[in-house]
A and B are shown apart, each in its own frame.
Chain A
Amino acid sequence: MTSWDWDTKEKVISNLKEWKEKFNSSEEILVSPDFEKIVAIVKVQEGKTFCINGETWNNTFERICFPQITPLGSVICLALRNYEWTLAKDDTVMEETFDYAWNLKTDKESKSIAFNIKKGDSYGVCLDGKIWDTLFFDARDLILSDDGKHAASYVRVENPPLLDIFSFKKGVWTIAADGNPWDKNFISIYGACFSPDNKKIAASVRLSQQEFTVAIDGKTWDEIFLNAWEPIFLDNDNVAVPVKREKGWTLAINGKVSWPYFTQLWHQRVSPDGRIAAVVATEFGKWTVALDGNPWKETFSHCVLPPFFSADGKKIGAVIRNRNTWSVAINGKPWDRGFDRIWSPQLSPDGNYCIAKAEKEGTYFLVLNGKIVKETFDMLWEPKFSPDGDKILFGCIKNGKYIRKVLSLSEVLK
């Protein structure tokens, strides 16, 4: 981020009107994290391809799916050519082909690329061009470790005929990491995540109708709960998961109930200073965020999305929906205004400012600490703070042009 251009106030990157004349259609517009590139899937005579700042790829495909721009700015996708699926990255196409490929993912530093694959009747994962040695009857979802070195997927290791409920009830699902399945099967397994050191996997598992617990690397906790949502690693050794007991939902850490009971509890997250925040319903239809088990005083009628933190962990925010409009609440205080939609708010490095992209009746604008920034846009991409917190960078479409803009905080505050 420090190497990005924070000085040019306004850069017209591309005139999208010209694209419209040049190509039959353009869809799936994406912008790069530094807002320097705008990418769309376009139709040319030979098929579909990417147009990046007006330049097209040489390769064309019958279909382009899961298009993404990696954190380092590479354009990747899964593409169909001659009825076979493969991976394309920056106009180079992987040699290996698949009967199907989906769930394209990269790690945070975009070192690795992984996706789910189908070969013949077998399912698995392809990580950095290498297909798992063992394939399965089914593989669903892809979980990539932070370092990008390991991939996991929920796999079906038994293949009973349809309607054989007794076999299915014994459990046919498990998780495979790098192609190696756990030796225990479950009725259901979900919410898998890697530990911060990328060595362990935790997932919630269902043992029977009303028996849920957490399994770490295939070993289940002794404690059984009435229900459970997705676990997270607090650090390399400790796992926290929302669980249901007769009194309600609570947070269990390493199997021990550690929070008071709520009507609902999910999306627990660890703050940079080591506290746990989670979305809770204190009562039926009353949603808020609880920090280390203590809910905010103010509650919201419709829902609360996962909490996010400032760098020092002192500010905790969440997107909320109250009386049918979206807004943001920081440390328990909601913004006065509500919007039709709001996109992933960002806290400034010092935590004093929060900026978000919002929409009302089809127009897009920026919102800083609840105040609408006057300028409106035809389209807008989620703004970012500069590392020093003085500037705000974003991409937008205005009058048919894609523009990269940098505003100083003082300009925005005006």
Chain B
Amino acid sequence: MEQFFKDPSLYTFLRGPMLWLAFLVFFLGIFYRIAITLREAKKEKIVYPYLSLRYTLRSLFRWLIPYGSISMRRHPWFTAITFLFHICLISVSLFLVGHVELWYESWKIRWWTLPVSLADGMTFITIFCIILLILRRLFQSDIRFLTSSSDYLILTLVALPFITGFLAHHELILDYKIMLTIHMLSGEIMLMAIPFTKLSHMFLFFFTRAHTGSEFGAVRHSRDF
């Protein structure tokens, strides 16, 4: 923030006020969406009375470990891609040295970081997975049938911070600072998009699984995995 007031530029803007805004939108957005969902779920009457912690956890466990469900075992390649993709995406966002440094600069807090070469590799994997996901959308008939332009847009939105981060780190194509600026901008846009686009599956996942897991386990005595 201070930097921006001392030296107002696009870079310091994105590094300061815009980042604040992005996180604010991200957290408030998630909070708002969850609150609305919980309220609407009450209107449905039949959601809350059947919720079961045990079967919610069973469901989450089965779907958060690789190949925990019959569905994942039937789709070994896709499961591998999505797990790698999600693991890399989350790890790099949270544990990249450069990201943690920024937190330290602003808040004097620091946590474990990924070795640079590993982070680099993971970034590459993330991008590679996105390409595979795009190819899958383009060439697998059932998924092509489901796909609309917004699905590509979302994938692009996720891909951009990784591509620009990767390029900036290796100082490719554009000047480091310009690339970094684009990187920050795209990252902030993605952050703000999470609560309001399909990326909200990041947190809604836990709610749908809780409902379906409880219905299948506690009520129907059968498996949802």
Question: Are A and B in contact, CB atoms below 8 Å, in the complex?
Answer: yes
Complex Cα–Cα for A284 and B45 (A): 7
Complex Cα–Cα for A358 and B95 (A): 68
A97 adjacent to chain B (CB < 8 Å) = no
A160 adjacent to chain B (CB < 8 Å) = no
Complex Cα–Cα for A284 and B46 (A): 8
B49: chain A residues at CB < 8 Å are: 284-285
Complex Cα–Cα for A183 and B45 (A): 41
Total interface residues in chain B, CB < 8 Å:
3
A263 adjacent to chain B (CB < 8 Å) = yes
Q: Per-residue CB proximity of A276-288 to B under 8 Å, as 1/0? A: 0000000011000
Closest A residue to B48 by CB, please name it: A284
Report the minimal beta-carbon distance from A282 to chain B, rounded to whole angstroms.
12
Report the minimal beta-carbon distance from A299 to chain B, rounded to whole angstroms.
13
Report the minimal beta-carbon distance from B215 to chain A, rounded to whole angstroms.
15
Complex Cα–Cα for A284 and B41 (A): 13
B:40-66 near A, CB below 8 Å:
45-46, 49
Closest B residue to A248 by CB, please name it: B45
Complex Cα–Cα for A285 and B46 (A): 10
Complex Cα–Cα for A173 and B45 (A): 34
A285: chain B residues at CB < 8 Å are: 49
Complex Cα–Cα for A268 and B139 (A): 63
B:16-60 near A, CB below 8 Å:
45-46, 49
A263: chain B residues at CB < 8 Å are: 45
Complex Cα–Cα for A32 and B42 (A): 52
Complex Cα–Cα for A285 and B51 (A): 14
Complex Cα–Cα for A284 and B49 (A): 8
Complex Cα–Cα for A321 and B209 (A): 32
Complex Cα–Cα for A285 and B45 (A): 10
Report the minimal beta-carbon distance from A261 to chain B, rounded to whole angstroms.
13
A284: chain B residues at CB < 8 Å are: 45-46, 49
Report the minimal beta-carbon distance from A322 to chain B, rounded to whole angstroms.
16
Complex Cα–Cα for A284 and B51 (A): 13
Complex Cα–Cα for A263 and B46 (A): 12
Complex Cα–Cα for A285 and B49 (A): 8
Complex Cα–Cα for A82 and B45 (A): 57
Complex Cα–Cα for A284 and B47 (A): 10
Complex Cα–Cα for A73 and B49 (A): 50
Closest A residue to B45 by CB, please name it: A284
B46: chain A residues at CB < 8 Å are: 284
Complex Cα–Cα for A263 and B49 (A): 14
Complex Cα–Cα for A285 and B219 (A): 14
Report the minimal beta-carbon distance from B44 to chain A, rounded to whole angstroms.
10
Report the minimal beta-carbon distance from B78 to chain A, rounded to whole angstroms.
38
A:257-283 near B, CB below 8 Å:
263
Complex Cα–Cα for A284 and B50 (A): 11
Report the minimal beta-carbon distance from A206 to chain B, rounded to whole angstroms.
24
Complex Cα–Cα for A55 and B49 (A): 57
Complex Cα–Cα for A104 and B46 (A): 41
Report the minimal beta-carbon distance from A378 to chain B, rounded to whole angstroms.
38
Complex Cα–Cα for A65 and B45 (A): 44
Q: Per-residue CB proximity of A187-207 to B under 8 Å, as 1/0? A: 000000000000000000000
Report the minimal beta-carbon distance from A300 to chain B, rounded to whole angstroms.
15
Report the minimal beta-carbon distance from B19 to chain A, rounded to whole angstroms.
45
Report the minimal beta-carbon distance from A246 to chain B, rounded to whole angstroms.
11
Report the minimal beta-carbon distance from A330 to chain B, rounded to whole angstroms.
28
Complex Cα–Cα for A284 and B42 (A): 11
Report the minimal beta-carbon distance from B220 to chain A, rounded to whole angstroms.
17
Report the minimal beta-carbon distance from B123 to chain A, rounded to whole angstroms.
49
Closest A residue to B44 by CB, please name it: A284
Complex Cα–Cα for A209 and B46 (A): 23
Q: Per-residue CB proximity of A232-266 to B under 8 Å, as 1/0? A: 00000000000000000000000000000001000
Report the minimal beta-carbon distance from B46 to chain A, rounded to whole angstroms.
7
Q: Per-residue CB proximity of A61-93 to B under 8 Å, as 1/0? A: 000000000000000000000000000000000
A:318-377 near B, CB below 8 Å:
none
Report the minimal beta-carbon distance from A194 to chain B, rounded to whole angstroms.
36
Complex Cα–Cα for A299 and B18 (A): 53
Report the minimal beta-carbon distance from B41 to chain A, rounded to whole angstroms.
12
Complex Cα–Cα for A263 and B45 (A): 9
Closest B residue to A263 by CB, please name it: B45
Report the minimal beta-carbon distance from B164 to chain A, rounded to whole angstroms.
50
B45: chain A residues at CB < 8 Å are: 263, 284
Report the minimal beta-carbon distance from B137 to chain A, rounded to whole angstroms.
41
Complex Cα–Cα for A263 and B44 (A): 12
Report the minimal beta-carbon distance from A198 to chain B, rounded to whole angstroms.
41
Q: Please name the 5 residue pairs, one residue from A and one from B, whose CB atoms are nearest each other, closest first.
A: A284-B45, A284-B49, A285-B49, A284-B46, A263-B45
User: Hey, which bits of chain A sit against chain B, CB under 8 A?
Assistant: 263, 284-285
User: Hey, which bits of chain B sit against chain A, CB under 8 A?
Assistant: 45-46, 49
Chain A to chain B contacts (Cβ below 8 Å), 5 pairs: A263-B45, A284-B45, A284-B46, A284-B49, A285-B49
